[in-house]
Structures are given as structure tokens and as C-alpha cells.
Amino acid sequence: MKIKSAKVVVCSPGRNFVTLKIITDAGLHGVGDATVNGREKAVVAYLEDHVIPTLIGRDASEIEDIWQYLYRGAYWRRGPITMAAISAVDLALWDIKGKAAGMPLYQLLGGASRKKVMVYAHAQGMTIEEAAEDVAAKKERGFVAIRAQVGVPGLPAIYGVGERANQAKGGMVNALPHEETWSTSKYLVHVPKLFAKLRDALGDELHLLHDAHHRLTPIEAARLGKDLEPFRLFWLEDPTPAELQEGFRLIRRQTTTPLAVGEVFNTIWDARLLIEEQLIDYIRTTSSHAGGVTGLRRIVDFAAIYQVRTGCHGAMDIGPAAMAANLHLGLWAPNFGIQEYSGYTEETHAVFPHAFTQTGGYMHPGEAPGLGVDIDERLAAKYPYERAYLPINRLEDGAMWNW
Ligand code: EZ4
Ligand code: CO
């Protein structure tokens, strides 16, 4: 079965998505997600100019060889744009393999290890009361795990809370990056109060998560981890930027709050030390950014040796094809932990018909062959690309900081 053609579809049914469609001479096609938020068109050019021409005529069944060809052949190893392009090709080829076999992806991986995939929802509020109401509302809808974010008194709305966090766009509402103000000291005293309130109001059973969005230094993250210990978080996410993997040693020595990191990682190398030294509990790499099924499966197996579990990135910029792959991997992986799912707009659900389903706080990838996701190109054309960026942070003295 040879690759006959491939094309890239960009659409914005709520948020920008880059989708690769690979078509074979046997009439089967596969879809993959290549979305890199805020850099969508760079991946489009990479795929159209440098990847698609090399794919035509190749055997669609040789997924590993094509992965290695694109990874090694690029000369420029790793990087988010290269790896998103490779991921999309890989996802589309696994989709095709599943269709050819008449099996859902999780069966090709070795079958299900569990009946359903636990997901966590996002909740937020400008104040502790608002955030607590949102968490309670999500719990009411059946979620058993919820990420809670809160505004900080004395600061304007920060990323993840307030109007810009609106669910349709997931925070990406600005045609140029919006500049926000950040104060670590104000944040550090406030956040533990949110979780005290949540435990008080909602009891001990609910899994609570929190995302620090790379804004802390290791010693600040260690302080937050300690202060949150009484509230037994499921995890503290992105406590500090992980370019310096060794930085996590300091946090780890100080706190038993479980740590999660990796939504911006694109290969196993980004997490090697973190995993080998057991500095984290959950690895957040996702199928559209870390090399597709092939790349992510390798990370998952490596992590299993060190008792690190999965917690794949699944915000709304992770397109439905990648979400489906994450769910198949989650159903299979013996060391699955949790899957992020912040939901899609109705328009997105319609543009990407899918077999995956959600029942309360759990999802299932469905039984359709392959990934179980397609793209309705005619509908997609009604939602053209819209320039949109995440915000950036400055400290109160004007210095640049992490978002
Ligand atoms: O900010 O994917 O854990 N999830 C996150 C997300 C990211 C978005 C960016 O588009 O941090 O909300
Ligand atoms: Co995050």
C-alpha cells in the first residue's frame, strides 16, 4: 500500500488546528494532528515544503522506517516544529494501519489494560469563591479529577483565569501576545488558600491538580509543594521550566507533592534525567508533539521502568486526532496515570467526527479502526485560520517572565 498523496488542512473551529491527511493507493486515508499553538503556519510550511514530497510513493505500512527517515534525515534533530510534523505523519500512518487491520489502535498496541481512561477537567476563577464554584460544578458533571486555577489578589487576570481563559478559545484570544503582570510572592501565599477551601468544601475523594505554568524557580516550587502537602494534590504541574532538568532535584528533595511536567517536550531526551532520577511522577508529553504513537509509546515504556506514569497534555490545542491517539495509548499503557481533557467547541466536534466518547470523568477511544477520527474538509473550510497567541508575563518591575 503506497502513499499516493498528502495534504495539510488548517482550520479554526474555536481554535486553530493543523491536520495532515495521508491518502494511499488502496483508497484508505489517515489523519494526524500537527498543531503547535501560535506557530501553526511554521508546521504547515515544514510539512508541505519538506515532508510531503518525500512521502509520495513510500510504503504506508513502514511506520518505523518513515519515522526514522524523517527524524534522522532532517539533520536538524528534535525541536517542536520538526517533531510536530513527524508526529502528524506517524499518527496518520497508524490510523491507516488500524484501518487496514480492521482494529482500533489500542488493539494494535497490545489491547486494553483498563476499561476506561480517567480524564481531568479545567476549573478556574478570579477569586477563591468563583474557582470553588467552578470546581463544584465540574464535580457535579461527573469529573473525578479537576485542575483548579485562581486569580491572584493585587494582580490583573493572569493566564488560565478570567475572561481570556474562556473555554471556546482556551486563552488564545489575542492577535498579538497579550502582556500580563506576574508576582510570584503574591501567588505563593494565595494558592494554598484555594486548596484549603476546596478540601473543606468538597471533601477528600476528588483528585485536585494545579498548574504553575513554569512560573516558579525550583526553591519557590519547593515552597509551594510543601504548603500544598496537607491538601494531597494529584499533581503540581510545570512547577519550574525544565530546560534545566537538574532543577527538579531541589524540588524533589523538599516535597512529597507529586510532580508533572512535559507538555512542551518533544522527545524522550527532554525527559531523560527527570525520569531516570525519578524526579517526576507524571510525564506530560503528548502524541502530536512528541513523535506520534511511535515517539510517545517509547517514552511511556521508558517511564514505566522508573514508576513514572502518563498524564498527556490534552488542552484544546491538542487536536482530536492526537486526543484519540492519547486515549488509545491510555487504554493500553500499564503505567497510564490520567489524561487532560479541557473539552472542544461544538464546531470542533462537528469538523472532526470521532469515535471517542466521554462519560462523566472518563473517556474511551471507541472501537472504530485506527484512531477513529476523521476531518470534514468542507465544514473545516468554513473556519479559516485566525491569528492568535498565548499571553506572556512581565514581573511588576517590567522584566520578562515565563507565562
Ligand atoms: O496552556 O495548551 O496543562 N495545560 C496547559 C494548557 C496550555 C495550553 C496552551 O494552549 O497548560 O492550558
Ligand atoms: Co499545563
pLDDT for the residue 288: 98
| Ligand 1 neighbourhood includes 37 CB (under 6 angstroms) | yes
Locate the ligand 1 atom nearest the alpha carbon of residue 284 and give its number: 3
pLDDT for the residue 256: 98
What cell was used for 71? 527524524
Looking only at the bridges linking them, the beta strands covering 3-11 and 17-24 are antiparallel
Q: Is 342 exposed, middle or buried (0-12, 13-18, 19+ CB in 10 A)?
A: middle
pLDDT in tens, 114-124: 999 999 999 99
CA geometry: angle 74, 269, 60, nearest 5 deg = 45
pLDDT above 90 coverage of the chain, percent: 92
What cell was used for 363? 473517556
Ligand 1 centroid – CA 65 distance (Å) = 32
Nearest CA to ligand 1 atom 5: 315
| Ligand 1 neighbourhood includes 263 CB (under 6 angstroms) | yes
| Ligand 1 neighbourhood includes 211 CB (under 6 angstroms) | yes
pLDDT in tens, 186-230: 999 999 999 999 999 999 999 999 999 999 999 999 999 999 999
pLDDT in tens, 366-384: 999 999 999 999 999 999 9
pLDDT in tens, 123-161: 999 999 999 999 999 999 999 999 999 999 999 888 878
- Residue 172's pLDDT band (boundaries 50, 70, 90)? low
Average pLDDT, the chain: 96
Residue whose grid cell is 498543531: 35
Q: How far is CA 182 from CA 110, 152, 186, 216, in A?
A: 46, 9, 9, 11
Nearest CA to ligand 1 atom 8: 315
pLDDT for the residue 177: 87
Ligand 2 centroid – CA 343 distance (Å) = 15
Residue whose grid cell is 515544514: 46
Ligand 2 centroid – CA 287 distance (Å) = 15
pLDDT for the residue 161: 85
pTM recorded for the entire structure? 0.97
Nearest CA to ligand 1 atom 2: 315
Closest ligand to C-alpha of residue 172 is 1
pLDDT for the residue 403: 63
pLDDT for the residue 81: 98
pLDDT for the residue 170: 60
Residue 80 has pLDDT above 90, yes or no: yes
CA distance 48 to 53: 7
Residue 171 has pLDDT above 90, yes or no: no
Locate the ligand 1 atom nearest the alpha carbon of residue 172 and give its number: 10
- Catalytic residues, by residue number, are 159, 213
What cell was used for 84? 510536530
pLDDT for the residue 156: 85
pLDDT in tens, 11-59: 999 999 999 999 999 999 999 999 999 999 999 999 999 999 999 999 9
pLDDT for the residue 173: 67
Nearest CA to ligand 1 atom 10: 317
Nearest CA to ligand 1 atom 7: 315
CA distance 173 to 309: 33
What cell was used for 66? 518513515
pLDDT in tens, 387-400: 999 888 999 999 99
pLDDT for the residue 168: 60
Residue 167 has pLDDT above 60, yes or no: no
Residue 265 has pLDDT above 90, yes or no: yes
C-beta of residue 319 within 8 angstroms of C-beta of residue 287:
no
Residue 10 has pLDDT above 80, yes or no: yes
> Containing H/E element for 70?
helix 63-73
Residue whose grid cell is 512521502: 55
Mutating to test ligand 1, I would choose from 263, 265, 284 the residue with most ligand atoms within 8 A of its C-beta, which is 263
Ligand 1 centroid – CA 390 distance (Å) = 9
Nearest CA to ligand 1 atom 12: 315
Q: How far is CA 388 from CA 14, 252, 364, 375, in A?
A: 11, 36, 31, 22
Please enumerate, as own/partner, the contacts of 240-244 that have beta carbons within 8 Å and a separation of 24 or more. Answer: 240/212, 240/214, 240/216, 241/214, 241/402, 242/214, 242/270, 242/271, 242/274
Ligand 1 centroid – CA 280 distance (Å) = 19
pLDDT in tens, 278-324: 999 999 999 999 999 999 999 999 999 999 999 999 999 999 999 99
Mutating to test ligand 1, I would choose from 211, 237, 323 the residue with most ligand atoms within 8 A of its C-beta, which is 211
- Residue 178's pLDDT band (boundaries 50, 70, 90)? confident
